Structure 1
Amino acid sequence: MAKKAEKTIAGQAREFRAEARFQRVSPQKAKLVLDMIKGLRVETALTTMMFSKKRIAPIVEKALRSAVHNASYLSEEQGFDLDVDNLYVKMAVANEGPRLKRIRPAPMGRAFRYQRRLAHIIVTVAEKHTTPKVDGTDATASATAGTKPAAKKAAAAKKAPAKKAPAKKAVAAK
């Protein structure tokens, strides 16, 4: 596992990443597993990887655990407050590594070439910021709570009663 430092930009959340390079799986197969954990909380993602039957799942789990340990280590090292319970998988990608060229024997003394694909797996975690609660409710919920009843009354007052469609005239038979 290659360990990478956290990415810091002023005003944005910190990101922590870990890489598992030169894994003997095609990137296409690894992406199927990585798509299952994108955007999930770390705890849920680890549980998903534990119960996955794919061969690459333990390697992805190891990379995810490494990213979480990188986050906790750097938070202690640099002295900033990090809640490990609020971490989520921000990015999980599988890039293509070098290909191993191999030869398979073919009939009549010939040989067929094929390639074994390798993948570089990168997992990035970040801390999900929650909005501060005011009196047991979210700040956004309390701000919009005062405007919703007034908006409903205004919409009801503007609505005109529905008109009946005119009845079709009967055609006279000759």
Structure 2
Amino acid sequence: MAKGHRSQIKRARNENKDTRPKAKLSFARVSTTKAAFVLDAIRGKDVTSALGILAYTPRTGAKLIEKLLKSAVANAENNNGMNPENLYIDECYADKGPTMKRIRPRAQGRAYRIEKKSSHITIILNER
């Protein structure tokens, strides 16, 4: 554990902060598995080809991830002063979010549970 005054600890924490541009979508109404299929298709690609892939991907989370990628590019351009042509997707992953539990009535008084899953999707870019 780090020793020192609170300000020293905070300074040390901020010095090794990740400066890569990123965007995060929390509580996306798509399961992590479905999002992961789309993210696997674009991981490691440059931004222009990734946007092309997402535009023609018929999968569930493709539109959400396309919007998120555009947001990450805008963050890189405005906050970090990076050139969008040189950017590529360094990391992208979907973490599990909270699950909404619903009940569906079935025959003979039974009830089936419907789980509406959500995820937290993160895209981290880097410059070539």
Q: TM-score, normalization: structure 2?
A: 0.83
1:38 is matched with 43
Unaligned 5+ residue runs, structure 2? 1-13
Alignment of 1:76-155 (within 5 A): 76=81, 82-128=82-128
Indicate conservation of the 8 Å contact 1:26/1:119, yes or no.
Answer: yes
- Structure in which a larger fraction of residues adopt helix: 2
Aligned equivalents of 1:98 and 1:86: distance in 2?
A: 35
Contact 1:14 1:127 in 2 (8 A): no
Q: Residue 21 of structure 2 aligns with which residue?
A: 16
**Deviation by residue 1:83-117 (Cα, 9 ceiling, x = unmatched):** 22110000110111000011011111121223111
Q: Distance in 2 between matches of 1:63 and 1:32?
A: 16
State the shift of 1:9 in Å: 4.8
- Unpaired segments of 5 or more residues in structure 1? 1-6, 77-81, 129-174
Number of residue pairs the alignment of both structures matches = 115
Identity %: 37
Q: SS at 2:21's partner residue?
A: strand
Amino acid in the other structure paired with 1:75 = N
Among 55, 58, 75, the residue aligned to 1:53 = 58
User: What is the letter of the counterpart of residue 22 of structure 2?
Assistant: R
Give the Cα separation in 2 of the matches to 1:46 and 1:37.
Answer: 9
Query: How far did residue 55 of structure 1 move?
Result: 2.2
Runs of 4+ in structure 1 displaced over 3 angstroms? 7-10
Q: Is the 8 A contact 1:8 1:14 kept in 2?
A: no
Is the contact between residue 22 and residue 124 of structure 2 (CA under 8 Å) also seen in structure 1? yes
SS in 1 for 2:80: helix
8 A contact 2:34–2:60 mirrored in 1? no
